[in-house]
Amino acid sequence: MIEVSREEAERKRMLDERAKNRHKQVMLEAYDQQCDEAAKIFAEYHKRLHQYVNQARDAQRFSIDSSLEEVSSFSANSSKEAVYSTVKGTKSADDVILIETNWERNIRKACESLAVYMVERIRNSFPAYEGSGIHLNPQSEAAKLGMDFDGDIPDDVRTVIVNCLKNPPHLLRAITAYTLRLKTLVSREIEKIDVRADAELLRYKYENNRVMDVSSTDTNSPLHHQLYGNGTIGIDMPYKGSQNQLLERQKAHVQQFLATEDALNKAAEARDVGQNLLKRLHGTGDVVSSHSIGIGVTTQNMGSLRQFELEVWAKEREAAGLRASLNTLMSEIERLNKLCAERKEAEDSLRKKWKKIEEFDARRSELEAIYTALLKVIMEDAAAFWKQQPLVAREYASTTIIPACTIVAEIANSAKDLIDKEVNAFLRSPDNSLYMLPSTPQALLESMGSNGSTGPEAVAAAEKNAALLTARAGARDPSAIPSICRVSAALQYPAGQQIYA
């Protein structure tokens, strides 16, 4: 009997030790799984927090860099020389292939709608925008361009704006890309224009008694000679005349003017000589009718009359030549008057063109002032907006992420305390009697929920179920042993007491 009791005790001790190890392993694996899940939750929150922080940092850095780039690029472009109407290149800005996504297309449509509204505001505030006048103080009007829509935004544009504001960094990148694209197109169009070449084209020359110009043809000119050639009259005139050519033209003008004055003086002298001869011829009748003159005097008068007739014939021939010269001079004067009229019309046309150039320059300066003012206002608004974003993000985090993190930290601390308590419970019960299945057949039948039968078959079925439960626990199935009940029992009862589940 003693040997049997000793063997039974040894077998019971080995079974208890084996069950104790299995139960501890199952419990520790369950706690390990819970800790892994808590660590995954912490990692997910940590990842999301880092993502939000990086987005805010990138948005702030991108706003600062884009503002500096816009101001520097605009300063560089405004320092260029003013060019207006002569096209330098042949490639159009429409040749650029535009590839955009659905997001960028929606942003482009919204920007175009807002740009149409802003253009209408500028057109109403600044007459020089359409070339109808020049505003005296554009800076004062630029400050009035506040974007107060009062419900004038279309519904589709409002929907696009609301959808885009869900991701402010992406929205700012898309708007900045669209603005840079438009700025590039405008810069290309401006760089194609050269006012100096226009000034050279507006120059004219006076050669061979005609005014020549290589600009456009004036179809409304009432003059006989065409003032603005179509390229065939003044094709030999270079775009950049030298100073020597200008001096030669001035000398030719002076010489022709002096020749005209000399011809006019000669014509006046010939007219005076002819009038004197006519007076002398009319005065000879009084000499012949005088009765107091003697015969000798009469003979002398007859000789004088003969001499006068010869002189008259010579003077008549001279007068005829002078009359022909006078007619030639009159025709030359008429031609010169016509050329003077043509030259005056050319000067008036050049003056009008130069006035248009000045108006275009004033309009460009005014629009540049508008653009500078709008750019400054936009940069100030953007800076103020992104300065407020950290406060808004902090307030939003205080209501969403921070409470969740606090709750998770509290759960982790409570889990840590629970693990410490269970470890202490394990240490207080070295024989693991708390976590073991009942050792007596009757208690085993009661714990396994038998239907009141106490025979050998019921005991064998209960032992089989207990073996299956132990195998499940050994296979790392936490549901095999109700750990919460074990833990509560370990915390409520001291070590050494027999408590059956």
Q: Where are the beta strands (DSSP E) in 56-160?
A: 86-87
What's the pLDDT at 490?
Answer: 44
Q: How far apart are the first and last CA of the chain?
A: 32
Q: What is the 3-state secondary structure (H, E, C) of 223-273?
A: CCCCCCCCCCCCCCCCCCCCHHHHHHHHHHHHHHHHHHHHHHHHHHHHHHH
The angle formed by the CA atoms of residues 150, 152 and 153, to the nearest 5 degrees, is 115
How far is 371 from 129, CA to CA, in rounded Å?
12
Find, among 382, 457, 440, 420, the residue nearest to 60 by Cα: 382
What's the pLDDT at 36?
Answer: 82
What's the pLDDT at 489?
Answer: 43
Q: How many CB atoms lie within 10 A of CB 16?
A: 15
DSSP string, 14-53: HHHHHHHHHHHHHHHHHHHHHHHHHHHHHHHHHHHHHHHH
pTM: 0.25
How far is 468 from 237, CA to CA, in rounded Å?
113
What's the pLDDT at 216?
Answer: 42
Residue 37's Cβ-count burial label (10 Å; 0-12, 13-18, 19+) is: exposed
How far is 143 from 5, CA to CA, in rounded Å?
105
* Buried/exposed code over 197-210 (b: 16+ C-beta within 10 A; e: otherwise): bbbbbbbbbbeeee
What's the pLDDT at 453?
Answer: 72
Per-residue pLDDT of the chain in tens (501 residues, 90 and over written 9): 677 777 888 888 888 888 888 888 888 888 888 888 878 887 887 788 788 787 777 777 666 555 445 444 444 444 443 333 344 444 444 444 555 667 777 777 777 877 787 777 777 766 655 555 555 565 565 555 554 544 566 777 777 777 777 777 777 777 788 888 888 888 887 777 665 665 555 554 444 445 454 444 444 444 333 333 333 333 344 434 455 666 676 677 777 778 878 888 888 888 888 788 777 777 644 444 444 444 454 555 666 677 777 777 888 888 888 888 888 888 888 889 999 999 999 899 899 999 999 888 888 888 899 999 999 999 999 889 888 888 888 888 888 888 888 898 898 888 888 777 766 655 554 444 444 566 677 777 776 666 667 778 888 887 787 777 666 655 655 555 554 444 444 444 444 444 443
H-type helices in 434-501, by residue range?
441-448, 456-474, 483-492
How far is 444 from 429, CA to CA, in rounded Å?
21
Tokens representing 222 are 């009432």
* Buried/exposed code over 478-492 (b: 16+ C-beta within 10 A; e: otherwise): bebbebeebbebbee
How far is 145 from 123, CA to CA, in rounded Å?
11
What's the pLDDT at 255?
Answer: 78
Tokens representing 277 are 């001869």
H or E segment and range at residue 213: strand 210-213
